[in-house]
Amino acid sequence: MCYRLIIPVILVFSFLQLFPAKYAWGSTPETDAPSAVLMEASTGKILYQKNPHKRMAPASVTKVATLLVAIEALKSGKVDWADKVVTSEAAWEMGGSEIWLEPGEEMSFREMMIAIAVGSANDACVAVAEHIAGSEKAFVDLMNQKAKELGLKNTHFVNVHGLPAKNHYTSAYDMAVLCREAAKHPEYLKLTGIKHYYKLRGGKTKLDNTNKLLWWYDGTDGFKTGWTTEANYCLASTVKRDNLRLICCVFGVPEPGGHFNESIKLLNWGFANFAYQEVIKAGEVVGKVRVGKGTADYTGLVVPEGVGVLTRKGEKIDVKTELTIPEIINAPVAKGQKAGELKLIVNGKVQQRIPLTVQKGAPRCGFWQQMQKTLKTMAG
């Protein structure tokens, strides 16, 4: 059996803020980008789109996926920041933007990742791919597998760096989804948020981030620029202000610097019109469940990711949460195990269903421990 609990706090959000008439409700921004998407990161809601599913050459924005697969390999324990990555001849032969790696040259995995995130280094991309998967092709397979897991319909990678290649494409929508996944990893944002890195090769190689929004637009901490004659100017960016994180992807802008200007237009519109109110923080305990035959009688239940509501500024909404928790779960119980559900109800309608997870694991009791617990319960 399960029981339900409606948390008796109704939150009323009122954003009574003034903003320019050109950003009034119902208006939409204009962009010269052939393809663009503006997404709110927490909910994944699309705020603006223009040809969102059109297949486009991504140039170095490809490296959003390269870095994501590499970060996931790091978090799974397959690689470590301190790993020594050895440069192959294949990495050395790469053209385009690079850090001029020599065959046999070693750098730490961390330095190689910084070279990709900050310097857009094609040679470092190949070196990292080979270190993780054995070959660039095998790593590209992992990138395409990740795209498939995320349900992306208009993405196919052929290489790890984004130099022109047949059947190498993505879309503004698909890239925004990849960026949303990337933004879940603080380590990723620390890399793409680096403006300068002047410690490579003992200070002999200096890197300046190609994403100028890091200087020009407050709150920017990702992701990646791109340019080739085929792709024109592209940018996948993310900005966080007052709990609202926006993801903006623009592709195919013909003018130099236009990818920054068009992104700023969309971001300005997004921050002028929308707000995000956090309801429950990530990891916050929202209830507890009884543990049967465990070393602990109860364990807390938490929300693994933050829960909140995206609103138009000036909009009033009623928000409440409803918990559905099992009466008992039997040990052994593992930390992170799913148990129960939280419903986010906005204006009387269920907006989200979020699985609850166990805060602390509880091993199964031994025989004598269980006997002692039973006698204690019988004794009142």
- Residues with catalytic annotation? 60, 63, 120
Residue 148 CA to residue 153 CA, distance in Å, equals 8
> Is the bond preceding residue 223 a cis peptide, omega within 30 degrees?
yes
DSSP of 313-324, one letter per residue? TT--EEEEEEEE
Q: DSSP string spanning 80-130? A: -TTPEEEPPHHHHT--SS-----TT-EEEHHHHHHHHHHH--HHHHHHHHH
**C-alpha span between 8 and 55 (Å, rounded):** 47
Cβ-Cβ contacts under 8 Å for 319 (sequence gap 6 or more): 10, 11, 12, 13, 277, 279, 309, 344, 345, 346
| CA-closest candidate to residue 189, choices 239, 244, 261 | 239
Q: Which helix (H) or strand (E) holds 312?
A: strand 307-312
175 contacts 58 by C-beta, under 8 angstroms = yes
Q: Alpha-carbon Rg of the chain, whole angstroms?
A: 24
Backbone φ, ψ for residue 245 (5° rounding) = -110, 125
**Amino acid at position 93, single letter:** E
Contact 203, 188 (CB under 8 A): no
Q: SS3 of 262, please?
A: helix
For residue 311, give both structure tokens: 């609103």
Q: Which of 182, 193, 195, 196 is nearest to 219 (CA)?
A: 193
282 neighbors 305 (Cβ within 8 angstroms): yes
Give the phi and the psi of residue 169 in degrees, each rounded to 5.
-155, 165
